[in-house]
A and B are shown apart, each in its own frame.
Chain A
Amino acid sequence: MTDYWLSKLFFDLQHDPQLVKDYRADMAAVIDRFRIKSDVRQALMDDDVAKLAPLVNAYLLRFYFQVRGMPQDEFMARLHAMNASGAPEAAKAGHG
């Protein structure tokens, strides 16, 4: 299920270099500017790829974790681990 405000945060980060700077300086403060649910907020703070993946477009997810500075190999490993753990197929569904 698409989370609009999480998607909006990721989209705005892609478009606004100042927001990226602000985010890197104080994630929590930037997250508070969006209507992010508490469990999603925690997933952002934890860099929880598996929790966030089903909620946003896959390309926005990839961009977001580039902003977070997560190496591509680690990002891919975390995605692949979702398969291994039998996590829902939701990460593929509906998000391009």
Chain B
Amino acid sequence: MAKLVGIFAASHGPIIARDWETMPRDHRAKLTAAFDEIGRRLRACRPDLLVVVSPDHWVNFFINNLPAICIGIGDEHDGPPEPFMKKVYPHAVLKGHAAFGRHLLQTALDNDFDPTLSHRLTLDHGTCIPLWRIGVDPELPLVPILVNDLEAPMPSIRRCFAWGRLVRRAIESYPEPLRVAVLGTGGLSHSIGETTMGWIDETFDHACIDAFARGEERQLDAFLTEQLERTGNGAHEIRDWVIAHAAAGSTGFELIDYFPSPATLVGAGFASWKAPVA
């Protein structure tokens, strides 16, 4: 059977790629240290496969066809389309893992979840900035889960918890002895293209981190369901952290670093969870 060997979360933001070389040195150093620590922990758990939970920034989907959740079940996916990403992450094609992708999809359907599927996704900066900065081996197969974090109505936080548990169930029921890691990307607070653009809601971010650390699902659900309506729109990406959190069993959260990053417009958060004991 496969097993879950590592669970991680990291912020992303296009400015990290677009303006990396011109970013203040100390800022770059903090981001580098946090991403590097996730990279170190990820490599230490020797994954055969990485499930990446990310938003889609209007790359695969539009409002004429906008799934709440899409699972990438192809053997390959396309690398980032953004010109600023191609300079730093020049991987036109990324490996998928069709067998596990299909197993995850089937497990979802068997458990009354109704995701959409894609045999070939395009993975934008939301997925690829963490892969780039963490130093994920480009040969490591990915199974992307794209979550609608951008356009209301979005999946409920309660449903994201259920999705995390389902991801865990799919991993633990996969018949091959794969070592699987999960990476949630996005968040913490940020505000993009709205009247509060640039606002980093540190109060929300610290409360959010505290709620993850306490772990208790009902409290975290209640907090996020209420507060996501009051903070910047980018914080909706915390759904991807919730899925990672629930995959970990909603326990074992460890903050690697958090700092408000005005240079990248995000509350930059980095975390890992203890992998379940085999």
Chain A contacts for B152, CB-based, 8 A: 93-96
**Is B193 an interface residue when CB atoms closer than 8 A count as contact?**
yes
**Is B216 an interface residue when CB atoms closer than 8 A count as contact?**
no
Instruction: Select one of B150, B154, B195, B198 contacting A91, CB under 8 A.
Output: B195
**Is A76 an interface residue when CB atoms closer than 8 A count as contact?**
yes
Q: How many A-B residue pairs lie within 8 Å, measured between CB atoms?
A: 73
Main secondary structure of the interface of B (DSSP, over half): loop
Number of contacting residues on A, CB 8 A? 29
How far is B62's CA from A62's CA once the two chains are assembled, in angstroms?
A: 16
**Whole-angstrom distance between the Cβ of B191 and the nearest chain A Cβ:** 8
**Is B29 an interface residue when CB atoms closer than 8 A count as contact?**
no
Chain A contacts for B62, CB-based, 8 A: 7-8, 11
Assess the B63–A53 pair: CB atoms within 8 A. no
**Is B149 an interface residue when CB atoms closer than 8 A count as contact?**
yes
1/0 contact string of B50-66 vs chain A (CB within 8 Å): 00000001110011100
Assess the A96–B233 pair: CB atoms within 8 A. yes
A80-B197 CB under 8 A given contacts A8-B62, A58-B233, A60-B58? yes
Assess the A59–B192 pair: CB atoms within 8 A. yes
A sample of 11 inter-chain contacts (CB < 8 A) reads A2-B63, A57-B58, A58-B194, A58-B197, A59-B57, A59-B58, A61-B193, A62-B193, A87-B195, A91-B195, A96-B233
